[in-house]
Amino acid sequence: CVSMFVAQLATPYREAVTLVELEGLTMREAADMVGISLSGMKSRVQRGREQLRALFDECCEIAIDARGKPTDFAARARTSCKKCP
């Protein structure tokens, strides 16, 4: 499910999020692989996460616990979601 949302990100953010979050590379490893600075990779991952969160928020209601971790979700009405796969 997550990969369908990641696929909607612009190429640099999709690549960064895929390498770091889905494939488990460190940000340093991902930066070296792509050929950018560590700070550049950190920025791409952060922006990609923000964009991914916006996509999730548009399609799902997400319950968050006191630590900021998701605990539950429910799909929003399809009419309000314009970006769901």
Reply yes or no on whether the pLDDT at 79 is more than 80.
Answer: no
> pTM of the entire structure?
0.78
The reported pLDDT for the residue numbered 11 is: 95
Structure confidence at residue 78 as a pLDDT band (50, 70, 90): low
Instruction: Report pLDDT digits (tens) over 4-63.
Output: 899 999 999 999 999 999 999 999 999 999 999 999 999 999 999 999 989 888 888 888
Per-residue exposure over 15-49, b if at least 16 CB sit within 10 Å of its own CB, e if not: bbbbbbbeeebebeebbeeeebeeeebbebbebbb
Average pLDDT over residues 55-81: 80
| The amino acid at 65 | D
